[in-house]
A = this chain, B = another copy of it.
Amino acid sequence: MAKMSKIILTDTTLRDGNHTVSHQFSPDDVAKVALGLQGAGIDLIEIGHGDGLTGSSINYGFSKYDDFSTIKAAAEVLTTSKLTVLLLPGIGTVKALEQAHKYGAKAVRVATHVTEADVSAQHIKAAKEMGLFTVGFLMMSHMTDVDRLVEEALKMESYGADVVYVTDSAGAMVPSQVAEKVAALKNNLKVPIGHHAHNNLGCAIANNLAAIDAGATYVDSSLMGLGAGAGNTSTETLIAVLNKMKHDHRGDLYKAMDVSKDILVPILESKGLHLSTNHDSMMLGYAGVYSSFLLHSRRASERFDVDVRDILLELGKRKVVGGQEDWIIDIAHGLSTR
């Protein structure tokens, strides 16, 4: 158990989530979302084509904007969060990485199929020479057994990777499987271990938690869970769950929710994508209050001009149950006079 280790958050809304918008995030979109994520305490912010540097192609879909214009836009706003790019050897090149570095990338994730870590040697070494924080990303980790996974991860470590990730690209794993794989890497590698989940089997967040319990200290997520397939772990829900389990991390729940609601949703709307946040139901679970309180709380929020989230949290703390709806007014009034 590594519960008290600091958890390092990587948000991939602007890279894995780029799949959802057919790689059409503009430099302006990227700057706005990246700035918001930085404000919400996200440690690494990954941007770019869904398939990484120079992924824009007939095979993987063309980006609307070139990699370097979006990297430049993000670099101009990021100060405390690390601007990160993805590089799939075979799709992206060392030359492209040099360009990305020149335009402001501070970190790179070098990704290979789980049994092909060899092909990352040159790219990881080059990244380290550029001074980039370098993550080894073992994709489709469900496709091999623990021994082989360890072997491949050790290769990435030997090339110089600062972190190695168990990446569940197809969302094919359940928590016990993630725990087994992460624990094996934790026992055999010196560098920190990360986990990137997809939600195809509805297990993304629980897989992240299982990874953390097994010793991972790096986890990925994206706002509203935006990403390929069934999407990633939702950043806002991940932060809520990490708070609930008292894990140490830099994420700010309300700010992450606000980036989704106030910045990302309008951007998606402008591209014709009408997605809703799950914030209402998530806050009910986070506060631990029954759904019938929501409507009353929202009315009280408007009447007393207090954040409905604060009302719900206070209801949860006081363990209010059905039949005690009149407490909501008291709580809202109390919050408004603080």
- Which of chain B's residues has its CB closest to A288's CB? B172
In the assembled complex, the CB of A95 is this many whole angstroms from the nearest CB of chain B, namely 22
Q: A175-B206, A176-B213 are in contact. Are A200 and B170 (CB under 8 A)?
A: no
Q: Mark contacts of A268-293 with chain B using CB atoms, 8 A cut-off: 1 yes-contact digit, 0 otherwise.
A: 00000000001001101111111100
In the assembled complex, the CB of A226 is this many whole angstroms from the nearest CB of chain B, namely 13
Q: List chain B residues, Cβ under 8 A from A203.
A: 205-206, 209, 241
In the assembled complex, the CB of A290 is this many whole angstroms from the nearest CB of chain B, namely 6
Determine if A140 is an interface residue (Cβ-Cβ < 8 Å). Answer: yes
Determine if A228 is an interface residue (Cβ-Cβ < 8 Å). Answer: yes
Interface residues of A in 213-238 (CB under 8 A from B): 213, 228-230, 233-234, 237
Q: List chain B residues, Cβ under 8 A from A94.
A: none
On whether the beta carbons of A229 and B175 are closer than 8 Å, the reply is: no
Range, interface on chain A: 35 or more
On whether the beta carbons of B237 and A170 are closer than 8 Å, the reply is: no
Q: Looking at A174, A240, A288, which has the most chain B CB atoms within 10 Å of its CB? A: A288
CA distance A29 to B174 in the complex (A): 34
Q: 6 A-B residue contacts at CB 8 Å?
A: A142-B288, A170-B290, A172-B287, A172-B316, A229-B285, A230-B282
Interface residues of A (CB under 8 A from B): 113, 140, 142-143, 169-172, 174-176, 198-207, 209-210, 213, 228-230, 233-234, 237, 240-241, 244-245, 278, 281-282, 284-291, 316, 319, 321-322
